């Protein structure tokens, strides 16, 4: 029996916030409920922080940046983040249970949500340790004689990190650890539905690391105004955000008056172009799995499948069989790959979009409702819709459910045109027996990332970002680290 199987069951997270080095409740003691999506039961509470709490956290982060050596003492930062990595390792099974409790993510697929981010702490610590913060850019002629230019990479300042609920622990780490090792101070505002992946992170920082008071703060809240206060606060130098495009626009607007640096990873509506020479039996079952594995709650999911008209029904049959056999159920049961949607509101949104697809002429091939054997919990059937009009709402709006839409195309040009018919430009996928042909198609997709033949574009080593309304800037890779740094160019005597 693995450690995971030994230690199962709902586990409430820490109900406190971390503000200026203290694990605290909000002044009036207000809390809000956290619900386990697989049982619909309240699993515990989180602090319902206020705009005042956010103000105190930002003040602490500002002071820690302006008045301590944090931003200048790389050795100390490496020491603290090495401690953080070790502490997260020690708390791994606890964090996994808290994550499953608040997200409903199946235990069998928690590796990318627990092991990967913990590994990333180590990666970023090493990356930050080795980074060249001072680069000699050579001697250049100027009207006043030759000048040497040196580039000094410096922390941006106070970073506000706002995270969503779909992969909360991973994103809490991905948005804050590169910022911290680069010398910034941070205020983290986790999503309402998943406060504990943030509060547990705060507890571990406070109890098990030497990270100084104010350098890292976590403010949980059930109110959007608290995130809005962070994104508008003039004491904050940068916002890093993952979430919906609508909220991204609000954050960009809120930061405009103080010209905040803003890193946005927003929505997607990615297309998977299956070329007519592709191995359908390899690519389509995987496509179905990707749609279901996080209950479809993933921004990079290629949710629009484009099939060649010549092999359309063949492709639909494979997708249908894969979705009908997908293991949906209790997230604590090993082998289950799809859990519930995170909330009833989200499930209703998904079911509403499926209905809008049917209303606009799409053909329901399988799914479309609630699994009969799972009346409790916010479960949704894996759903396949064919003949989807590329201009319809279901082809244009992010669904965030276990739903694939399928649209036929005539030739490669037509497929590319349908794929690019979107306000989003996050990811894409191409399947073909001919990798050169797939590559040519990939270069024509207006997205930040493309996967060819299931070889994923996503990883800590390579930049990840969206084009069009899918985002600004990059996470991951050397580029992702530099986002948390400003360059000071110093002209000086040779």
In 3D space, the residue among 214, 238, 266 whose CA is nearest the CA of residue 482 turns out to be: 238
What dihedral do alpha carbons 139, 142, 145, 146 form, nearest 10°? 0
Task: Please say which residue, 283 or 303, places its beta carbon nearer to ligand ADP.
Answer: 303
In 3D space, the residue among 109, 117, 119, 426 whose CA is nearest the CA of residue 294 turns out to be: 109
Task: Please say which residue, 162 or 319, places its beta carbon nearer to ligand ADP.
Answer: 162
3-state secondary structure of 290: helix
Span near ligand ADP by CB under 6 A; candidates 126-134, 225-233, 327-335, 477-485: 225-233
CB of 137 to ligand ADP, least distance (A): 37
Task: Please say which residue, 197 or 209, places its beta carbon nearer to ligand ADP.
Answer: 197
Q: Are 273 and 441 in contact (CB under 8 A)?
A: yes
State whether the Cα torsion 94-99-104-107 is positive or negative: negative
| 6 CB neighbour count, 10 Å cutoff | 8
Q: Which of 62, 85, 123, 189 binds ligand ADP (CB under 6 A)?
A: 189
Length of the chain in terms of residues written:
494
CB of 225 to ligand ADP, least distance (A): 8
Dist CA 367 CA 369 (whole Å):
6
Q: Are 420 and 395 in contact (CB under 8 A)?
A: no
Residue 302 engages ligand ADP in binding (rule: CB under 6 A): no
Residue 178 engages ligand ADP in binding (rule: CB under 6 A): no
Task: Please say which residue, 101 or 194, places its beta carbon nearer to ligand ADP.
Answer: 194
CB of 61 to ligand ADP, least distance (A): 16
CB of 226 to ligand ADP, least distance (A): 7
In 3D space, the residue among 315, 285, 275 whose CA is nearest the CA of residue 429 turns out to be: 275
Site string for ligand ADP, 125-164 (x = CB under 6 A): -------------------------------------xxx
In 3D space, the residue among 481, 378, 418, 372 whose CA is nearest the CA of residue 132 turns out to be: 481
CB of 242 to ligand ADP, least distance (A): 7
Give every CB contact of residue 363 below 8 A, 6+ residues apart in sequence.
385, 386, 387
Task: Please say which residue, 61 or 273, places its beta carbon nearer to ligand ADP.
Answer: 61
Span near ligand ADP by CB under 6 A; candidates 76-84, 143-151, 188-196, 281-289: 188-196
Task: Please say which residue, 228 or 323, places its beta carbon nearer to ligand ADP.
Answer: 228
Residue count, binding to ligand ADP (CB under 6 A): 15
Residue 45 engages ligand ADP in binding (rule: CB under 6 A): no
CB of 315 to ligand ADP, least distance (A): 30
**Residue 210 class from Cβ within 10 Å (0-12 exposed, 13-18 middle, 19+ buried)?**
exposed
Task: Please say which residue, 249 or 309, places its beta carbon nearer to ligand ADP.
Answer: 249
Q: Which of 71, 247, 392, 451 binds ligand ADP (CB under 6 A)?
A: 247
Tokens 């609000």 belong to which residue? 250
Tokens 């040519």 belong to which residue? 440
3-state secondary structure of 407: strand
Structure tokens at 402: 């276990």
Q: Which of 224, 348, 456, 489 binds ligand ADP (CB under 6 A)?
A: 224
Task: Please say which residue, 400 or 474, places its beta carbon nearer to ligand ADP.
Answer: 400
Pairing of strands 216-218, 185-189: parallel
Q: Which of 175, 299, 429, 483 is catalytic?
A: 299
Based on the residue annotation, tell me whether 105 is a catalytic residue of this protein: no
In 3D space, the residue among 127, 117, 58 whose CA is nearest the CA of residue 84 turns out to be: 117
CB of 297 to ligand ADP, least distance (A): 9
Q: Are 418 and 447 in contact (CB under 8 A)?
A: no
Q: Which of 243, 255, 268, 315 binds ligand ADP (CB under 6 A)?
A: 243
CB of 391 to ligand ADP, least distance (A): 23
Q: Which of 120, 175, 265, 398 is catalytic?
A: 265
CB of 92 to ligand ADP, least distance (A): 24
Residue 192 engages ligand ADP in binding (rule: CB under 6 A): yes
In a 13 Å sphere around the CA of 235, the CA atoms on its Cβ side amount to 18
Dist CA 389 CA 304 (whole Å):
11
**Residue 241 class from Cβ within 10 Å (0-12 exposed, 13-18 middle, 19+ buried)?**
buried
Span near ligand ADP by CB under 6 A; candidates 227-235, 325-333, 378-386, 456-464: 227-235
Q: Which of 46, 59, 121, 191 binds ligand ADP (CB under 6 A)?
A: 191
Residue 231 engages ligand ADP in binding (rule: CB under 6 A): yes
Q: Which of 8, 108, 244, 343 binds ligand ADP (CB under 6 A)?
A: 244
Based on the residue annotation, tell me whether 299 is a catalytic residue of this protein: yes
> In this structure, what DSSP letter does residue 473 have?
S
Which residues form the interface with ligand ADP (CB under 6 A)? 162-164, 189, 191-192, 224, 227-228, 231, 243-244, 247, 250-251
Residues with a catalytic annotation lie at 265, 299
């Amino acid at each position: 029996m693995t450690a995971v199987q030994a230690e199962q069951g709902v586990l409430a997270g820490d109900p406190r916030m971390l503000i200026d080095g203290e694990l605290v409740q909000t002044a009036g003691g207000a809390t809000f409920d956290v619900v386990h999506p697989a049982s619909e039961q309240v699993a515990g509470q989180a602090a319902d922080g206020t705009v005042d709490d956010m103000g105190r956290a930002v003040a602490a982060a500002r002071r820690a940046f302006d008045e301590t050596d944090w931003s200048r003492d790389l050795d100390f930062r490496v020491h603290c983040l090495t401690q953080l990595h070790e502490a997260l390792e020690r708390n791994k099974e606890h964090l996994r249970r808290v994550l499953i409790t608040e997200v409903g993510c199946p235990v069998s697929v928690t590796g990318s949500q627990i092991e990967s981010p913990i590994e990333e702490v180590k990666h970023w610590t090493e990356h930050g340790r080795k980074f060249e913060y001072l680069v000699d850019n050579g001697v250049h002629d100027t009207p006043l004689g030759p000048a040497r230019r040196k580039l000094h990479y410096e922390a941006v300042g106070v970073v506000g990190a706002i995270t969503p609920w779909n992969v909360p622990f991973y994103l809490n780490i991905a948005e804050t650890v590169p910022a911290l090792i680069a010398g910034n101070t941070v205020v983290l505002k986790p999503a309402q539905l998943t406060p504990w992946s943030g509060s547990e992170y705060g507890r571990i920082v406070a109890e098990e690391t030497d990270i100084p008071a104010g350098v890292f703060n976590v403010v949980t809240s059930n109110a959007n105004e608290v995130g809005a206060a962070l994104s508008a606060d003039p004491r904050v130098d940068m916002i890093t955000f993952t979430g919906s495009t609508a909220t991204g626009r609000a954050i960009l607007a809120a930061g405009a008056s103080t010209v905040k640096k803003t890193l946005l990873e927003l929505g997607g509506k990615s297309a998977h172009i299956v070329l007519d020479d592709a191995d359908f039996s390899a690519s389509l079952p995987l496509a179905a799995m990707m749609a279901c594995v996080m209950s479809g709650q993933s921004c990079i999911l290629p949710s629009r499948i484009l099939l060649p008209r010549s092999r359309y029904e063949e492709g639909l049959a494979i997708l249908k069989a894969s979705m009908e056999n997908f293991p949906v159920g209790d997230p604590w049961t090993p082998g289950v790959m799809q859990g519930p949607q995170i909330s009833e509101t989200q499930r209703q949104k998904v079911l509403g979009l499926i209905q809008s697809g049917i209303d606009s002429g799409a053909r329901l091939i399988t799914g479309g409702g609630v699994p009969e054997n799972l009346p409790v919990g916010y479960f949704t059937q894996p759903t396949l819709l064919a003949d989807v009009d590329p201009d319809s709402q279901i082809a244009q709006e992010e669904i965030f459910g276990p739903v694939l839409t399928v649209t036929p195309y005539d030739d490669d040009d037509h497929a590319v045109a349908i794929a690019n018919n979107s306000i989003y430009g996050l990811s894409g996928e191409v399947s073909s027996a001919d990798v050169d042909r797939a590559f040519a198609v990939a270069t024509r997709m207006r997205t930040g990332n493309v996967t060819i033949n299931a070889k994923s574009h996503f990883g800590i080593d390579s930049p990840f970002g969206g084009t069009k309304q899918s985002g600004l800037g990059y996470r991951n890779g050397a580029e992702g680290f530099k986002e948390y740094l400003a360059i000071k160019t110093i002209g000086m005597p040779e």
